[in-house]
Structure 1
Amino acid sequence: MSATLREQRRAQTRRTIQAHAIRLFSERGYDATTMNDVAEAAGVSPMTVYRHFPTKEDLVLVDQYGEAIAERIAASPAGQPLVRRIGGALIDEAAALTGGDLAGDRRFLLVRLQLMISTPALRARHLDNQYALQQAIIGALGDEAADPDRAFQAQAAASACLAALHTALVRWAADDGRPDLPGLIGKALAAVFGDDAIGPAR
């Protein structure tokens, strides 16, 4: 078996396990669902679940969104203000995740968010994820965040954009995914940075 095929099967196994976990957490409650319950529902051994998701929290919080956002930022024009580049990437990724015919992906994202908001253990770990996303954003800026002053500016811009993102996500989850998520993120960013922070250059 080629390395690519192995990685594809590994990714599919991860998606299957996580999908069953989210379903069970939603139906039974996070605290009432065990890792063994998830393994049984996914048709794999508990060892397989632990190999892909070392902790129960990882079943909800592990994702690849940070990598995709970083790639969008790295591909954006270097001459744009940091807030525009970061905010634009957040809006574009939200559009990709919630748009089109991917109703299943949209629902999956919504239930994950609702679990994060309602479960204290997940809220705490979510802060770690936010820090990791901030670091991924700064890394995507490359040489633009190389010296200490620029790195400080990038950290401040990333933190402010992620705070706006979090506010939009909480509102979206509270409204059961009915509003347009990219639009909510844009409104949150505009509330922080002004109406011209995102729109005119996009």
Structure 2
Amino acid sequence: MAADPTPPPSLRERKKLRTRAAIRKATYRLVAEQGYEAATVERIAAAADVSPSTVVRYFPVKEDILLTDESDAVLDARLRARPADEEPLESLRAVVLDAVATAFADEPEETRLRARVMVEVPAVRARLTETAAETAQLLARALAERTGREPDDLEVRVFTAAVLGALREATVYWAERGQTDDLVRLLDRTVDTLKGGLSLRALP
């Protein structure tokens, strides 16, 4: 029997998504125009036409306005949809690089601003470490199922954290150097480095 189609989001859910999007859009605009510190909760609320309490209710940590979105669920779904016999590293390469390419296509300025703030603002960088750990846990569960391992298997956790950590470091490298390189190519090169066994030879 065919699986039941996923029901469309309710009116309340659509309203919540619109509110979250409005808060994010207002925050990105304020940060781009005035800097991160100037984008206070009160100013974000006024720009998004909501109350400060609404901003805090949707984003209890201000840094999450820039760092969190619905992409984790998309990454998880795409990872689970990859071929079952594909190497886990290649699966992660495919889903992450596709997500980054999509972000540049859909929201290029926001994507660049997020990376710049991540490098310039210590609080954002610190919070990114926490949110990245949550993403790693989510994707580790998907990889554990594919490989027949337990969700808290040490090798699965180390593997997933290492890959995502390396990709995050490549993003920092890109942002620190003025975002002039092709980020997708840098990430692809990063995965190649991991695949090669982390060998590092002296340059001639």
Distance in 2 (CA, whole Å) between partners of 1:157 and 1:142 is: 11
Distance 1:40 1:95 in 2: 32
> Which residue does 2:4 correspond to in 1?
none
Paired position in structure 2 for 1:192: 194
Alignment of 1:69-108 (within 5 A): 69-99=75-105, 102=106, 105-108=107-110
Residue 33 of structure 2 aligns with which residue?
27
Question: Which moved further from structure 2: 42-51 or 128-137?
Answer: 42-51
**Unaligned stretches of 5+ in structure 2?**
1-7, 198-204
Which residue of the other structure, out of 66, 84, 88, is the alignment partner of 1:60?
A: 66
The answer to whether the aligner puts 1:165 opposite 2:171 as a matched pair is no
Contact 1:110 1:176 in 2 (8 A): no
Identity %: 30
Q: 1:15 to 1:177 in 2, by over 3 A?
A: farther
- Ranges in structure 1 where 5+ consecutive residues have no aligned partner: 196-202
Q: Name the structure 2 match of 1:200.
A: none
Partner of 1:111: 113
Length-normalised TM-score, structure 2:
0.83
In the superposition, the TM-score normalised over structure 1's length comes to: 0.83
Aligned equivalents of 1:69 and 1:3: distance in 2? 19
Alpha-carbon separation, structure 2, partners of 1:19 and 1:155: 34
Residue 17 in 1 paired to residue 23 in 2? yes
Q: What is the CA distance between 1:35 and its match in structure 2?
A: 0.3
Which of the residues 6, 10, 23 maps onto 1:4?
Answer: 10
Question: Which deviates more, 21-30 or 65-74?
Answer: 21-30
Aligned to 2:132: 130
Residues matched between the structures, number: 190
Whole-angstrom CA distance in 1 between matches of 2:23 and 2:73: 21
1:182 aligned partner: 184
Residue 175 of structure 1, CA deviation = 4.7
- Offset at 1:173? 2.5
Amino acid at match of 1:98: F
> 1:198 aligns to what?
none
Displacement of 1:176 in angstroms is: 4.6
Deviation string 1:95-124 (CA, Å, 9 cap, x unpaired) is 22223xx3xx12112111211221111111
